[in-house]
Amino acid sequence: MRVISGKCKGKPLQAVPGMTTRPTTDKVKEAIFNMIGPYFSGGLGLDLFGGSGGLGIEALSRGLDRVIFVDHDAKAVQTIKKNVTACRLTDQAEIYRNDAERALKAIIKRGLTFHLIFLDPPYKNKQLEALIAIIDSHQLLQKDGFVVAEHGAEGQLAKQIGRLTQVKHETYGITAVSIYAYVDEEGE
């Protein structure tokens, strides 16, 4: 695993020790950023199931100002800290050990909104649509932002969740990526 593009291009990233975390492959990561970017001029990101931090670090490398990383696993949080430090991005990162729903409640209290939200839970975790519904109902996504949901290819997510519309869906082997955004009435 490595940072693919931007100011940290080529930096190697450590994986979370053990078998509980499945890192996003470089191929899938490249495809995600080709769909939503590939580069950004600022903005705030949320990597809600941070794992090794690969998606959030890639977003920082490609121009986001700041990313909040959240994972419930202590080993994952330690790995994110190591990877953020290795990429010299500590001033642009907040890293928390928490579960997804409690983290969203804390974010709601802070009144934050995001340009990019990454949701990459374990594939057996079936809470993606519920989390996207919370993001929509509490207006955590900026009007021009994206929710990037990575999930098992065998499962389909709803095309519409609240006011968020699935604007892209791609499959890469056992991995699927569904991207949600706000779409106006004219479909633009």
pLDDT, residue 185, reads 55
pLDDT, residue 139, reads 95
**Structure tokens of 101?**
């729903």
Could you give the 3-state DSSP secondary structure of residue 59? Answer: helix
> What domain count does the chain have?
1
Q: For residue 137, is it within any domain?
A: yes
Provide the residue type at 142 as one letter.
Q
Q: For residue 149, is it within any domain?
A: yes
* Range(s) of the domain holding residue 67: 26-182
Phi/psi at 115 (5° precision): -80, -35
Could you give the 3-state DSSP secondary structure of residue 7? Answer: coil
Q: For residue 3, is it within any domain?
A: no
pLDDT, residue 121, reads 87
pLDDT, residue 26, reads 83
pLDDT, residue 188, reads 42
Which regions in the chain score pLDDT beneath 70? 19-22, 123-125, 185-188
pLDDT, residue 19, reads 67
- Residue 129 sits in a domain whose CATH number is 3.40.50.150
**Do the Cβ atoms of 38 and 58 come closer than 8 Å?**
no
pLDDT in tens, 101-134: 999 999 999 999 999 999 998 766 678 999 999 9
